[in-house]
A and B are shown apart, each in its own frame.
Chain A
Amino acid sequence: MKSFGVTPPRWAARYGPPVLVFAGVVAAWEAYVRAMNVPAYILPSPSLVFETLFTDRATLFPALLVTLKTTFGALLAAVIGGVGLAILFTQWKWVERSFLPFAIVLQVTPIVAIAPLLLIYLEAPAAVLVCAFLVAFFPILSNTALGLASADRNLVDLFKLYRATRWQTLLHLRLPAALPYFLGGLQIGGGLALIGAIVAELAAGNAGKGAGLAFRISEAGYRLNIPRMFAALALISATGIAIFAALSALSFYLLSRWHDSAAGPER
């Protein structure tokens, strides 16, 4: 069938629809608030939220920095702890049998239930960091352990044939084979670290401690400063999207030449 008109470039075809839908939702929201004269303490317009981001920047951005520090600190600790423990799991089965139940207990226990206890035992910043770590840790651990155990059986045999040491097998076979799994866990863990940080900050904020974005949301809520609540929420969402995008870009950079999840069509 003959096609008429101009074919849009690939980037426009890819990013156009979501951008248009987002712009449409924001425009409809703005139009509704203006047309119905909805008061700002009920539902602020997007333009007011944007304006608040600018006018309250002295309050919001230092809080964002605190939340970011917690998130990335927790993510780093989760990567070190998760990958390290996963390596130990695959090297010594008794380590897996001994420690996996604890990891599962921490995973299945809601973080909101653990946070108040941690706030008793630790200083608020440390407690928030530990909460965020606990949430981000398990997906990285379980994905990496799965990846380390999923190395091609024939390649494992090949390494045995060439009398590879345990360390050589780990370095040259199991770790590269686990990379796609680890990156999948990291993408999940990145988002969860932010969620963990926010939840813990809320708990800490309720106790009158902490100065992250979640604390600013609580504080604004008490003062019925709804535009600031929305502005803080927008910052949290943008941070989550940025973390996901950065980790997706990292994943693409590391895998694009060889793994089906990131590479183009095969030759």
Chain B
Amino acid sequence: MTKPLVSFQNAGKIYKNGTVALAGLDLDVRGSEFLTLLGPSGCGKSTILRLIAGLDNLSSGALARGFSLDRGKIGFVFQDPTLMPWASVFDNVFLPLRLRGSPRRKATTAVEEALALVGLASSGRAFPRELSGGMRMRASIARALVLRPLVLLMDEPFAALDEITRFKLNDDLLALQGELGTTIVFVTHSVFESVYLSTRIAVIAGGPGSVAAEIAIDAPSVRGTAFRTSSVYAHYCAQASRALQGAKDEDLT
């Protein structure tokens, strides 16, 4: 079996204010998979992403990464698009390259390719406030992908979007992963979204966070309306819902 890209072993995280966010977390992230962390609010899903990104440190246990935390190995997409409002879409996507020291002229091709990947090829000169919510999120994804990261971390990126835009972005994200082969760790509250997108779901129980269940989604990587309306999809949704309910009950007790 191949070595995981990221591996948490008996990991714990306690914040300065005493909040225990994670305890005894054992979780592997494997190369090229689409792993979704599904769980109730405050169960530590976002903390897991921050730990993988090196934005926070563990309080106990171990975290092993199969890569160094150099610039560009990890892409991060937040719940809000988190674009720089004073910069054009092009300049927002150019940011990771600029911080790496790439001159603008040399980076143009990479930025334009990233914009084309998310369907924003003609919006480079627009400012974020001139875009719709969905387009802003696309720009945020383009910025995360511009350095072609090994791992893409997404923290409830589509939570604030309407259902139609969310469905479209779900499909586009799957297509992107199919094209680039990027490992994605995705955080969501939505059972339906988690089943639709993932190759594997880790249900996180709260208080403090740990993995309550893992569900492998055995379905073709190319998904669409047919999958969304299939009995297989319904079966996995039911399974994930039960696991989530179990995690909640565990949390309450």
Chain A residues engaging chain B, CB cutoff 8 angstroms: 152, 154-155, 157-164, 168, 172-173, 176-177, 179, 257-260, 263, 266-267
Contacts and interface: CB of A to CB of B under 8 A. Distances in A.
Given A258-B86, A266-B129, A267-B132, 14 more contacts: A154-B80, A157-B50, A157-B55, A160-B55, A161-B54, A162-B71, A162-B72, A164-B99, A168-B99, A173-B84, A177-B86, A258-B128, A258-B129, A259-B85
B98 interface: yes
B209 interface: no
Interface in B107-141: 127-132
A188 to B, nearest CB: 22
Interface of B (DSSP majority class): loop
16 contacts: A152-B82, A157-B55, A158-B78, A160-B55, A162-B71, A163-B69, A172-B95, A176-B84, A176-B86, A176-B87, A177-B86, A179-B86, A258-B85, A258-B127, A258-B128, A260-B129
A267 B99 contact: no
A162 B95 contact: yes
Nearest to B96: A162
B160 to A, nearest CB: 14
Given A152-B82, A160-B55, A163-B99, A267 B72 contact: no
Given A157-B55, A179-B86, A257-B127, A162 B100 contact: yes
Given A154-B78, A160-B55, A179-B86, A172 B98 contact: yes
A19 to B, nearest CB: 32
Contact of B82 (A158, A176, A258): A158
Contacts of B150: none
Given A160-B55, A263-B129, A266-B129, A172 B82 contact: no
Given A162-B72, A168-B99, A267 B129 contact: yes
Nearest to B82: A154
Contacts of B71: 162-163
B53 interface: yes
Interface of B: 50, 53-55, 69-72, 74, 76, 78, 80, 82, 84-87, 95-96, 98-100, 127-132
Nearest to B85: A258
A46 B99 CA distance: 60
A162 B99 CA distance: 7
B187 to A, nearest CB: 14
Contacts of B132: 267
A252 B95 CA distance: 25
A161 B74 contact: yes
A49 to B, nearest CB: 45
Nearest to A179: B86
A263 B127 CA distance: 12
A161 B54 CA distance: 7
Contacts of A177: 86
A106 B244 CA distance: 60
B106 to A, nearest CB: 17
Nearest to B74: A161
B82 A267 contact: no
B141 to A, nearest CB: 13
B22 to A, nearest CB: 18
Nearest to A160: B55
Contacts of A161: 53-55, 74, 76
Given A158-B82, A258-B85, A172 B99 contact: yes
Nearest to B78: A154
Q: Which of A161, A173, A263 has the most CB of B within 10 A?
A: A161
4 smallest CB-CB distances across A and B, nearest first, come from A154-B82, A176-B86, A162-B99, A258-B85
B78 to A, nearest CB: 5
A263 B69 CA distance: 39
A110 B99 CA distance: 46
Contacts of B86: 176-177, 179, 258-259
A179 B99 CA distance: 21
A172 B99 CA distance: 9
Contacts of A260: 129
A267 B95 contact: no
Contacts of B85: 258-259
B70 A163 contact: yes
